[in-house]
Amino acid sequence: SSEISSSDLLAHLSEPGSLTSLTPPDAKLASLASLSSLQLALLISAARLTIIHDTDIVSFALCYAEYVSLASKAKIAAVARGAWEGLVRKELVLPEGGKGNVNVRVDVRLEEIGEVDGVELGPVMGRWCREI
């Protein structure tokens, strides 16, 4: 292989038109900013599926199922976070190490939860309390 001198490289780079503009490699990427939240979510879901299934081809049905899964997980997480914050406000779980700490101390025992009058656990949560 022949070596290129630094002066030859500088001469090449200084020629008009030799430098490429700093635009995205694919002009389609510029249109991402104009997408609705739903379109962006579906596109992310489709792109995730290409990785999960190691393919370039996905269907709307698969994409929609992935979107529903991701969206429901996000919604469940938001609902659970709100419920957790309610437990903190009621001081059933107590932050350890000061405000803002993610660790808590549970201020009730498992056996106490099912013994309180008016608390209806149902079969599933009742089993959660017993099977440990």
User: In this model, does residue 94 exceed pLDDT 70?
Assistant: yes
Residue 66 · residue 49 · CB < 8 Å: yes
Residue 19 · residue 13 · CB < 8 Å: yes
- The arithmetic mean of pLDDT across residues 51-77, rounded, is 95
Give the burial string for 109-123 (b: 16+ CB within 10 Å, else e): eeeeeeeeeeeeeee
Residue 114 · residue 126 · CB < 8 Å: yes
User: Band of the pLDDT at 53, cuts 50, 70, 90?
Assistant: very high
User: In this model, does residue 77 exceed pLDDT 60?
Assistant: yes
Q: Which pTM does this prediction carry?
A: 0.59
Structure tokens at 21: 């503009």
> Dihedrals φ, ψ of 104, to 5°?
-130, 160
